[in-house]
Chain A
Amino acid sequence: MTSILTSTFKNLSTTSKWALRFSIRPLSCSSQLQAAPAVQTKSKKTLAKPNVKNIVVVEGVRIPFLLSGTLYKDLMPHDLARAALSGLLHRTNVPKDVVDYIIFGTVIQEVKTSNVAREAALGAGFSDKTPAHTVTMACISSNQAMTTAAGLIASGQCDVVVAGGVELMSDVPIRHSRKMRKMMLDLNKAKSLGQRLSLLSQFRLNFLSPELPAVAEFSTNETMGHSADRLAAAFAVSRLEQDEYALRSHSLAKKAQDEGHLSDIVPFKVPGKDTVTKDNGIRPSSLEQMAKLKPAFIKPYGTVTAANSSFLTDGASAMLIMSEDKALAMGYKPKAYLRDFIYVSQDPKDQLLLGPTYATPKVLEKAGLTMNDIDAFEFHEAFSGQILANFKAMDSDWFAQNYMGRKIKVGSPPLEKFNVWGGSLSLGHPFGATGCRLVMAAANRLRKDGGQYALVAACAAGGQGHAMIVEAYPK
């Protein structure tokens, strides 16, 4: 096992282009970057604003992210959310009655628990006096939960909010056809036997064909993988580059897992099954193996494959967010500040996954920072091709001028600071829960490596995007 692993690493550092970039990047970076991180922290200003409450992350946890159809497959979404909430309670010991509000993000809703935040909170033993609501914004749903929490605290409405997200892809609502539903509803209303029989006589066999949840954009009818393949082609990202990036993600995730950096994970005893302690989607392979896969969406010549895409994942995350004053008053040592954030949206057809490109310069501008000020980047990896296309877009003056209405490019993030503990490609991507994972990874990386600012960014279905600055809490 370990031998395979190390050999992979040898391969990586000797053969791949990424390795080359690793070695070249530092050379081209400014000398400031080569100075010790600790010195940097002191030299940078804080992003605190006068008359605005500081908002802090006290703690954030997630249950292990598992491939859908594995150990969580018999559970319901609120079970996962409950486990994350219990984990958070356990780790922070926050008195339940202090929590003012609970917000969860989710994408594919289980109809029985459409306000999954409330169902999970009740089950996790939170006070029944704590209201809860559920938000949805595709892959940035839990980002929306966190920023909603930030808004509630900043405006003085709440002091303590739990934000999180959950997704269970092992079970999705499959509906009866519209015709069948209509007949069933009409049957309910039918009064006499005659009416019922006449309704039943309209039944046709095709009424039974089920309606699967849409895997495609509603507006364009295009699946996300298809769009990602076109995006990669538009930016001339090759298959090899994509496979190399995916391999990097898996290798780094494996390393982070082995070195114990994924400290936001709380173990989850699955009813009737074992206790889960680790993400199970991390599978570093070899470029040769990956090259054998056929394209998954644009056949036969596309470049997006199962190996360089994020996989369907079950998981949940939760985070305790407070005003700084409240956290300190309660004796907590916060992990990070949540600072400026932004939401963007663009053409859902051809720029579906370019959210980070649009959001990054805007949020930096808002915070008065530049790319050089950022010590850790945590971007959501929907597809290798999407990440690499975003890099190329961020690095293109032509694109900035012609499509973003900006004078110059923002520049692409240096790889040595980018998703160094793995990303959605390897750790998994439970749609509604990824945002909190990104923020916690950013916060934990800043704490470990001593940086001051992290940039979190993500793309989402509907052509939307999000970015947020996370600032380290002084030690």
Chain B
Amino acid sequence: MVASRAIGSLSRFSAFRILRSRGCICRNFAASSALLTRTHINYGVKGDVAVIRINSPDSKVNTLTKEAHTEFVEVLNEVWASDQIRSAVLISSKPGCFIAGADINMLASCTTPQEATRISQEAQRIFEKLEKSPKPIVAAISGSCLGGGLELAIACQYRIATKDRKTVLGVPEVLLGILPGAGGTQRLPKMVGVPAAFDMMLTGRNIRADRAKKMGLVDQLVEPLGPGIKSPEERTIEYLEEIAVTFAKGLADKKISPKRSKGLMEKLTSYAMTIPFVRQQIYKTVEEKVRTQTKGLYPAPLKIIDVVKTGLEQGSDAGYLAESQKFGELAVTRESKALMGLYSGQVLCKKNKFGVPQKNVQHLAVLGAGLMGAGIAQVSVDKGMKTLLKDTTVAGLGRGQQQVFKGLNDKVKKKALTSFERDSIFSNLIGQLDYQGFEKADMVIEAVFEDLSVKHKVLKEVEAVTPEHCVFASNTSALPINQIAAVSKRPEKVIGMHYFSPVDKMQLLEIITTDKTSKDTTASAVAVGLKQGKVIIVVKDGPGFYTTRCLAPMMSEVIRILQEGVDPKKLDTLTTGFGFPVGAATLADEVGVDVAQHVAEDLGKAFGERFGGGSVDLLKQMVSKGFLGRKSGKGFYVYQEGSKKKSLNSDMDSILASLKLPAKPEVSSEEDIQYRVVTRFVNEAVLCLQEGILATPAEGDIGAVFGLGFPPCLGGPFRFVDLYGAQKVVDRLRKYEAVYGNQFTPCQLLLDHANSSNKKFYQ
């Protein structure tokens, strides 16, 4: 049961948000001569307690680098050698971060498994010493305590954490395709029990401090303080230190026991775990769950189970050895390279490279309270932006307001918000039917119906009532922004902001600039997007921009495959089997068949035959029968309210039969079907880079993975070409080109990469 929750989040890849919010900026560890003075770790002595402070220089977060390791060992040796010191406290000087984990660059630069194994073993050695410390050591945790940071903390004798939203504990290594390699796989099961440890390690989920206390991951909580003699952050960390020092003294004096009293359930669980049969059953269930969820595409989860098993069955020596070896193996896999690449891409897309906008957007207005409009409003109000939500009808507006309220209320149910916070956030939303207050708006985001004339109408109306500096952003998935801007008096203020549905869950925001869009307008849009918590790619204007443009040929191929007689369920299995989180037929239903038809027709006109393949008639017929996908209850599948099961829509049979195409046996193997879908996607993505729609491959990868669900294990289309080999991709395309024609003709940039083996998108 744990495991099902466990892997669920992995497959959806939503767990990546953990890393996003931390923004663990990878320090390059070029600094070398830091041996003389300690730059990462220092300590002072309070009475008979050593207070060891971690502070990575020039960084917002603390990371475990090689220098930090060395200095840590030095400090520990001094602490152990000193007669004056009887116990120690380990604390960060940075209020928002204990230790965010190991330096990712250090891991990413490993080329051989042995190299990575050595890193793991070194960390294991230090933490083992720490665990066996004759003087009790208290980890005082405030802010993120992740990966190696948590492994360090659980090697200490006692843990105290601030009960703060910023304080999160977790081992997110699995999200980078590796495993906790500093003793985590061995210590966690002992500390929180095998099921909870599996849950933590297989999902990489963040655990808040209060939950961690209940699980036994931390021993005490410290309440965050408000303003006092110092600012809240400063004083809270000082207070944490004071409390930790008292506990360190208490531990040294043996007045406090580091052993935790276990509850009845815990006792029962740990008793059950002593029975070999029960253990075997647990391994089996978890393994099965992992296999079905990862479809064998992600090696890390299985290795984690393996390592934990080794430790429990063959003793900790074997466990530590297995941990470091598997860590080494995983660190050099394609999957981990892909996932680490995505991670750094994400860090990159969390920055505003257009600088600080001249005017900070304080008053935001959203036009259209539909699914998208209300979603945009929701992610704005919960970041404290006053937002006007305008619709044309009371019913439409009410629906939108209810959507925002429900979104917030769901957070209350999950205890992520209090009902009071919900109310106060909701008060930032002002619903209205007119343009009252737009004279103060700094930015208007329109999310009205996808029709050029409607967009023109609202643009004119808005420009008539808004101030000169107001940015007009259009949320559209395919309408070219320059066409929308054509009727604008201030085209330099017009920009595209393409959100993805559901807005509060999807992290990506695609910002589209035209030739006329000013840099300040772009900076402003990026600033708002970042505030809304989005990962942002900025692309040039053009039909379908980047994301929709890549999706269109892929969907066209999907329709052709269906026309060739492949069952939608089968197709879904094939695409998810390749790593797509959502099957291709289901994706069409989710996006909306009418939208897909719209896009297919528009882009078909713009790009001609190259976007052909499947027949748009299929979509047309579906729309005419009302099979619009999930929103109308029927599409390729039949959806029932409240039921998660979906069955095939049998009424589709006649449509598919009427448009049936003969399958080409030479390109219809399961693998070929998968690659036909993927290579068209990849080819179009590379073409976007070639044409300058995309500025960087990193943005292309982030857009594909976070916006369209491109398989994360492949790292995005560009990383895929690098890892899979451009030549092999071209070979595939040529093979399909021979059968279907120019829809599969590889673009020039891809050919360039294929022709020169040292050309890579990521150097």
Say whether A and B bind each other: yes
Contact between A220 and B420 (Cβ–Cβ < 8 Å)? yes
Question: Which single residue of chain A is at the shortest CB-CB distance from B231?
Answer: A402
Asked if B43 CB lies within 8 Å of chain A CBs, one says: no
Asked if A226 CB lies within 8 Å of chain B CBs, one says: yes
Asked if B227 CB lies within 8 Å of chain A CBs, one says: yes
Contact between A220 and B418 (Cβ–Cβ < 8 Å)? yes
For the complex formed, measure the closest distance between the CB of A328 and the CB atoms of chain B, giving whole angstroms.
48
Contact with B along A224-246 (1 / 0, CB 8 A): 00100111011110000000000
Question: Which single residue of chain B is at the shortest CB-CB distance from A349?
Answer: B226
Contact between B418 and A221 (Cβ–Cβ < 8 Å)? yes
Determine which of B220, B228, B243 lies in contact with A234 in the assembled complex, contact meaning CB atoms within 8 Å.
B228
Contact with B along A384-410 (1 / 0, CB 8 A): 000001001100101100110000000
Bound CA span A226–B223, Å: 9
Contact between B232 and A350 (Cβ–Cβ < 8 Å)? yes
Q: Which of chain B's residues 208-240 have a Cβ closer than 8 Å to chain A?
A: 220, 223-232, 235, 239
Asked if B246 CB lies within 8 Å of chain A CBs, one says: yes
Asked if A218 CB lies within 8 Å of chain B CBs, one says: yes
Determine which of A219, A229, A234 lies in contact with B232 in the assembled complex, contact meaning CB atoms within 8 Å.
A234
Question: Which single residue of chain B is at the shortest CB-CB distance from A396?
Answer: B229
Contact between A230 and B229 (Cβ–Cβ < 8 Å)? no
Contact between A233 and B420 (Cβ–Cβ < 8 Å)? no
Determine the chain A residues whose CB is within 8 A of the CB of B226 once the complex forms.
Answer: 230-231, 234, 347, 349-351
Contact between A399 and B420 (Cβ–Cβ < 8 Å)? no
Bound CA span A226–B225, Å: 11
Determine the chain B residues whose CB is within 8 A of the CB of A234 once the complex forms.
Answer: 225-229, 232, 235, 239
Bound CA span A82–B220, Å: 49
For the complex formed, measure the closest distance between the CB of B489 and the CB atoms of chain A, giving whole angstroms.
41
Contact between B223 and A350 (Cβ–Cβ < 8 Å)? no
- Count of chain A to chain B residue pairs whose CB atoms are closer than 8 Å in the complex: 59
Question: Which single residue of chain A is at the shortest CB-CB distance from B418?
Answer: A221
Q: A233-B239, A234-B232, A301-B243 are in contact. Are A219 and B225 (CB under 8 A)?
A: no
Q: A218-B420, A219-B420, A301-B246 are in contact. Are A230 and B227 (CB under 8 A)?
A: no
Determine the chain B residues whose CB is within 8 A of the CB of A230 once the complex forms.
Answer: 223-226
Q: A221-B418, A234-B235 are in contact. Are A298 and B228 (CB under 8 A)?
A: no
Contact between A399 and B418 (Cβ–Cβ < 8 Å)? no
Q: How many residues of B contact A (CB 8 A)?
A: 18
Q: Which of chain B's residues 237-270 have a Cβ closer than 8 Å to chain A?
A: 239, 243, 246-247
For the complex formed, measure the closest distance between the CB of B391 and the CB atoms of chain A, giving whole angstroms.
31
Determine the chain A residues whose CB is within 8 A of the CB of B247 once the complex forms.
Answer: 301
For the complex formed, measure the closest distance between the CB of A283 and the CB atoms of chain B, giving whole angstroms.
29
Q: Which of chain A's residues 48-101 have a Cβ closer than 8 Å to chain B?
A: none
For the complex formed, measure the closest distance between the CB of B245 and the CB atoms of chain A, giving whole angstroms.
11
B220, B229, B232, B243 — most chain A CB neighbours (10 Å): B229
Determine the chain B residues whose CB is within 8 A of the CB of A300 once the complex forms.
Answer: 220
Bound CA span A234–B243, Å: 13
Determine the chain A residues whose CB is within 8 A of the CB of B220 once the complex forms.
Answer: 300-301
Determine the chain B residues whose CB is within 8 A of the CB of A393 once the complex forms.
Answer: 228
Q: Which of chain A's residues 279-309 have a Cβ closer than 8 Å to chain B?
A: 298, 300-301
For the complex formed, measure the closest distance between the CB of A292 and the CB atoms of chain B, giving whole angstroms.
15
Determine the chain B residues whose CB is within 8 A of the CB of A218 once the complex forms.
Answer: 420
Question: Which single residue of chain A is at the shortest CB-CB distance from B228?
Answer: A234
Question: Which single residue of chain B is at the shortest CB-CB distance from A393?
Answer: B228
Determine the chain A residues whose CB is within 8 A of the CB of B231 once the complex forms.
Answer: 402
For the complex formed, measure the closest distance between the CB of B220 and the CB atoms of chain A, giving whole angstroms.
8
Determine which of B224, B229, B243, B418 lies in contact with A235 in the assembled complex, contact meaning CB atoms within 8 Å.
B229
Contact with B along A317-344 (1 / 0, CB 8 A): 0000000000000000000000000000
Bound CA span A396–B239, Å: 19
For the complex formed, measure the closest distance between the CB of B235 and the CB atoms of chain A, giving whole angstroms.
6
Contact between A298 and B223 (Cβ–Cβ < 8 Å)? yes
For the complex formed, measure the closest distance between the CB of A358 and the CB atoms of chain B, giving whole angstroms.
12
For the complex formed, measure the closest distance between the CB of B740 and the CB atoms of chain A, giving whole angstroms.
62
Bound CA span A300–B219, Å: 11
Determine the chain A residues whose CB is within 8 A of the CB of B229 once the complex forms.
Answer: 234-236, 392, 396, 398-399
Bound CA span A233–B246, Å: 14
Question: Which single residue of chain A is at the shortest CB-CB distance from B221?
Answer: A298
Question: Which single residue of chain B is at the shortest CB-CB distance from A399?
Answer: B227
Bound CA span A402–B230, Å: 10
Bound CA span A13–B224, Å: 36
Q: Which of chain B's residues 13-47 have a Cβ closer than 8 Å to chain A?
A: none
For the complex formed, measure the closest distance between the CB of B422 and the CB atoms of chain A, giving whole angstroms.
11
Determine the chain B residues whose CB is within 8 A of the CB of A402 once the complex forms.
Answer: 227, 231
For the complex formed, measure the closest distance between the CB of A250 and the CB atoms of chain B, giving whole angstroms.
26
Contact between A350 and B227 (Cβ–Cβ < 8 Å)? yes
Bound CA span A402–B225, Å: 16
Contact between B227 and A389 (Cβ–Cβ < 8 Å)? no
Determine the chain A residues whose CB is within 8 A of the CB of B228 once the complex forms.
Answer: 231, 233-236, 389, 392-393, 399
Bound CA span A218–B224, Å: 19
For the complex formed, measure the closest distance between the CB of B165 and the CB atoms of chain A, giving whole angstroms.
13
Determine which of A229, A236, A351 lies in contact with B227 in the assembled complex, contact meaning CB atoms within 8 Å.
A351
Determine which of B225, B239, B420 lies in contact with A350 in the assembled complex, contact meaning CB atoms within 8 Å.
B225
For the complex formed, measure the closest distance between the CB of B48 and the CB atoms of chain A, giving whole angstroms.
19
Question: Which single residue of chain B is at the shortest CB-CB distance from A237?
Answer: B228
Contact with B along A11-24 (1 / 0, CB 8 A): 00000000000000
B220, B228, B229, B246 — most chain A CB neighbours (10 Å): B228
Q: Which of chain B's residues 259-304 have a Cβ closer than 8 Å to chain A?
A: none
Q: Which of chain B's residues 378-427 have a Cβ closer than 8 Å to chain A?
A: 418, 420
Question: Which single residue of chain B is at the shortest CB-CB distance from A299?
Answer: B220
Question: Which single residue of chain B is at the shortest CB-CB distance from A236?
Answer: B229
Bound CA span A233–B226, Å: 9
For the complex formed, measure the closest distance between the CB of A53 and the CB atoms of chain B, giving whole angstroms.
40
Question: Which single residue of chain B is at the shortest CB-CB distance from A300?
Answer: B220
A231, A233, A392, A396 — most chain B CB neighbours (10 Å): A233
Bound CA span A298–B163, Å: 12
Bound CA span A300–B230, Å: 24
Question: Which single residue of chain A is at the shortest CB-CB distance from B160?
Answer: A301
Bound CA span A392–B247, Å: 27
Bound CA span A378–B580, Å: 70
For the complex formed, measure the closest distance between the CB of B213 and the CB atoms of chain A, giving whole angstroms.
12
For the complex formed, measure the closest distance between the CB of A225 and the CB atoms of chain B, giving whole angstroms.
12
Bound CA span A398–B227, Å: 10
Bound CA span A396–B229, Å: 8
Determine the chain B residues whose CB is within 8 A of the CB of A231 once the complex forms.
Answer: 226, 228
Determine the chain A residues whose CB is within 8 A of the CB of B227 once the complex forms.
Answer: 234, 350-351, 399, 402-403
Contact with B along A338-369 (1 / 0, CB 8 A): 00000000010111000000000000000000
Determine the chain B residues whose CB is within 8 A of the CB of A298 once the complex forms.
Answer: 223
Question: Which single residue of chain B is at the shortest CB-CB distance from A389?
Answer: B228
Bound CA span A398–B235, Å: 13
Question: Which single residue of chain B is at the shortest CB-CB distance from A392?
Answer: B229
Bound CA span A247–B246, Å: 25
Bound CA span A27–B323, Å: 70
Determine the chain B residues whose CB is within 8 A of the CB of A219 once the complex forms.
Answer: 420
For the complex formed, measure the closest distance between the CB of A124 and the CB atoms of chain B, giving whole angstroms.
39
Bound CA span A300–B418, Å: 26
Determine the chain A residues whose CB is within 8 A of the CB of B418 once the complex forms.
Answer: 220-221
Bound CA span A389–B235, Å: 14
Question: Which single residue of chain A is at the shortest CB-CB distance from B223?
Answer: A230
Instruction: Other than A231-B228, A351-B227, give 12 A-B pairs with Cβ distance below 8 A.
Output: A218-B420, A219-B420, A221-B418, A221-B420, A233-B235, A234-B232, A234-B235, A235-B229, A236-B229, A300-B220, A350-B227, A399-B227
- Complex A-B: 19 CB contacts under 8 Å: A220-B420, A221-B420, A229-B223, A233-B223, A233-B225, A233-B239, A234-B239, A236-B228, A298-B223, A300-B220, A347-B226, A350-B226, A350-B232, A351-B227, A389-B228, A396-B229, A398-B230, A399-B228, A403-B227
Q: Which residues of B pack against A, CB within 8 Å?
A: 220, 223-232, 235, 239, 243, 246-247, 418, 420
The 3 tightest CB contacts between A and B, nearest first, are A350-B226, A234-B228, A234-B225
Q: Which residues of A pack against B, CB within 8 Å?
A: 218-221, 226, 229-231, 233-236, 298, 300-301, 347, 349-351, 389, 392-393, 396, 398-399, 402-403
